Amino acid sequence: MSNLLTVLNGKNIIVPENIAKLLTECKSFKVFNTSEELADAATNGKENVQYEVQYDVPGKGNYTEAIVQRVKNGISANYTEAYMRRRDPDTMVIADNNPTDKKRFIDKYGYEFSGLQTETFDWLKKQDLAVFFYFAGRENIGSLGIAIAPANAAFFALGLSMLQEMVAVDELKIGAKLKSVIFVAPIFRHTHFNGKQVVVHNRTESIHELYSYNLYPGPSAKKGLYGVMLNHAEKEDWIIAHCSAVQSISPYDNLTTFMHEGASGGGKSEMHQHILRESDGRVLLGRNLVTSEDRFITIPRFCSFNAVADDMAFCHPSVQKKDGKLRIIDAENAWFVRVDSVKQYGDDPTLEKTTINPSSPLLFLNIETTPGSTALIWDHIQDEPGKSCPNPRVIIPRKTVPNVVNRPVSVDIRSFGIRTPVCSKENPSYGIIGLFHVLPPALAWLWRLVAPRGHNNPSIVSSGGMESEGIGSYWPFATGKRVPQANMMLKQIIDTPRTTFTLVPNQNIGVWQVGFKPQLLMREYLTRRGAAQLKTDQYQAARCPLLGYELNYLTLEGSKIPSRFLKVYNQPEVGFEGYDAGAEMLRDFFRTELQKYLKEDLLHTGKRIIDACLSNASIEEYNEIIPMSYQYEYSFNKIEDYEQSGDNNGF
């Protein structure tokens, strides 16, 4: 058991005392060097086709957390509780005394974490453990970490090893520094947290400790380590965006890069989807939920696209160029893809092909399987009879994604997605957003501060109403202070004036059910048109100023998009009455959420923007604070000129 520590010592890699003691005193541990080794261990041996992950829980006896099956295309894991099949947004607590705006452990639970920390190590010492090293990040942007989990939870370790690049012991660099550790101890959600998902962050001077008290990868292996990376990035004053990205190529060879941000369920994974045709070749634009009318358009040929990122991207200084556009590179080694929109064979042929015949084993979560079968991404497990789990997932290594882009890319269109409910006169809501809107930079910043989670979120446990995820929608995973992140986001937006901002809904436009068609059609149209090349008569100030500019008309390959999809108040079922009531709901939401940012350390420009919003400013007033790039000729000196202007007041 001490052999690993001897090897690390020989490589001059310092192991914190609590980790060294755990590995020295535990029942046993096995070091894994590849994801394939963890896949073999997921069912307690390659020869086993099924395995139940069980723990002896005081008061509950032998409790089964998950049932793991070996399938032809990888490993399938299903949790015995429906609650464990979605990420609980209230999982994060902070154990240390470093600056934070998040809940501290002692304030939430009424006792110091140190006691539970000791109990955690005592429990882990009695287990057979799985140990491996990972690199949190990509392309030399990130840091080395170590994972320590019960050996019988190898399926969880497999997911972590795929999401974060696994590093074999022999490949560890001499003098490498361990910057993070994840301890996995699922039994404590039952004994200490009333069955809830809890992830504890303890930011010590030398290492960021992550304690995962559950076996769903979402809040720990995925978002927990996102928080670790955000903590390191904040110290260096740069952002890790919560986004997907694609490079789209038009039939006329135009290349446009889209970066799509948004809260969970906001359409990030869906930006990688192809538009489906009906059997007659048409495209269903939407279905009227009042009249049952279907509206179709015809598109002879779609754009092609190459995937760049699925859920998070580094906006690291090393990849930026001083050309007025934001540049990003994918921050993940694998993608945690939600497949709830794939309901039958043929809904997403490309993704189906990728997952049915993968080049390496995949991990399926919440997918109905039998041992030895092929996991099919449209076979979603049922939470209860007749009710499918809304959050089926598959972890796909990015190396297996066809034509994936491995280099930094310059962002042309930076969109923000929001799940919108049905809106009508009788039942008004914030579902008043048209097919897509163009946002002035100041408004783009405000949308990223409030980051509405939106309607009927499939990814997380929630009340279903509009809630804020905050700052770029990555705030739920950040461990530090809110305002410094808001300042970094504002600086980034001002520093990249040649990137155009859009706002796009999904699910519903007024009374029309549209799914994710708006963002896919936006991708089609703006790829053909070219970034920021709308005609001046094609847009006007939206009736609700928070929505920026609305479109007057839009024609895609000869098919005119009806104005009721561009201006929701043109729908007779909504009208001005329903639209204005929905606009007031949006205003109230913004007023409430923006109060959190009115602190002394907020940049003056940011305060001006928030004050403008609280005063119901017009779009012209937002443009006076930060001009829109396509209205002004960009020069390499523009950023410096703006920073030195009197309007900026020390930005």
Residues 35 and 104 in one domain: yes
Q: Domain for residue 399, yes or no?
A: no
Q: Domain for residue 325, yes or no?
A: no
DSSP β-ladder status, 500-509 and 413-419? parallel
Over residues 261-271, the pLDDT tens digits come to: 999 889 998 99
628 band by pLDDT with thresholds 50, 70 and 90? confident
Residues 228 and 299 in one domain: no
pLDDT at 630 (0 to 100): 45
Q: Domain for residue 310, yes or no?
A: no
Residues 231 and 281 in one domain: no
Q: What is the mean pLDDT of the chain?
A: 92
631 band by pLDDT with thresholds 50, 70 and 90? very low
Distance CA 208, CA 159 (A): 20
Distance CA 457, CA 474 (A): 16
Q: Domain for residue 326, yes or no?
A: no
Q: Partners of 560 in the beta sheet?
A: 555
Residue position matching structure tokens 């882990």 = 124
Residues 566 and 478 in one domain: yes
Distance CA 379, CA 631 (A): 49
Q: Which of 236, 255, 283 delimits the end of a domain? A: 236
Distance CA 468, CA 596 (A): 11
pLDDT at 644 (0 to 100): 41
536 band by pLDDT with thresholds 50, 70 and 90? confident
Distance CA 575, CA 578 (A): 6
CATH of the domain at 198: 3.40.449.10
Phi, psi of 598 (to 5 degrees): -80, 75
- Residue pair 162/363 in contact by the 8 Å Cβ criterion: yes
Distance CA 141, CA 538 (A): 42
Token representation of residue 161 = 């090893």
Residues 232 and 284 in one domain: no
The CA-CA-CA angle for residues 139, 142, 144, to 5°, reads: 110
CATH of the domain at 300: 3.90.228
pLDDT at 2 (0 to 100): 58
pLDDT at 642 (0 to 100): 39
Residues 96 and 9 in one domain: yes
Token representation of residue 123 = 């429990």
212 closest CA partner among 148, 126, 155: 148
pLDDT at 637 (0 to 100): 37
In this predicted structure, the answer to whether residue 123 has a pLDDT above a threshold of 80 is yes
With 0-12 CB in 10 A as exposed, 13-18 as middle and 19+ as buried, what is 35? buried
646 band by pLDDT with thresholds 50, 70 and 90? very low
Q: Domain for residue 341, yes or no?
A: no
Residues 612 and 532 in one domain: yes
In this predicted structure, the answer to whether residue 635 has a pLDDT above a threshold of 80 is no
Residues 121 and 231 in one domain: yes
Distance CA 318, CA 140 (A): 11
In this predicted structure, the answer to whether residue 648 has a pLDDT above a threshold of 60 is no
Distance CA 325, CA 582 (A): 34
Count of structural domains, the chain = 2
Q: Domain for residue 625, yes or no?
A: yes
- Residue pair 504/267 in contact by the 8 Å Cβ criterion: yes
pLDDT at 110 (0 to 100): 97
Q: Which of 187, 221, 236 delimits the end of a domain? A: 236
Token representation of residue 59 = 């008061």
Distance CA 454, CA 291 (A): 25
In this predicted structure, the answer to whether residue 417 has a pLDDT above a threshold of 50 is yes
Distance CA 221, CA 183 (A): 10
Greatest distance between any 2 Cα atoms in the chain: 74
Q: Domain for residue 311, yes or no?
A: no
pTM strictly above 0.85 = yes
pLDDT at 639 (0 to 100): 36
Over residues 457-490, the pLDDT tens digits come to: 666 665 556 788 999 999 999 999 999 999 999 9
Distance of CA 602 to the CA centre of its chain: 25
Q: Domain for residue 424, yes or no?
A: yes
Residues 212 and 278 in one domain: no
Over residues 54-104, the pLDDT tens digits come to: 999 998 899 999 999 999 999 999 999 999 999 998 999 999 999 999 999
CB atoms within 10 A of CB 66: 22
42 closest CA partner among 73, 15, 13, 74: 74
In this predicted structure, the answer to whether residue 283 has a pLDDT above a threshold of 70 is yes
504 band by pLDDT with thresholds 50, 70 and 90? very high
Residue of 312 and 532 predicted with greater confidence: 312
Structural domain boundaries, residue 97 = 2-47+88-236
Residues 43 and 178 in one domain: yes
Residues 454 and 553 in one domain: yes
Residues 513 and 608 in one domain: yes
Token representation of residue 278 = 């009906």
Which run of H or of E encompasses 231?
Answer: helix 223-235
In this predicted structure, the answer to whether residue 505 has a pLDDT above a threshold of 80 is yes
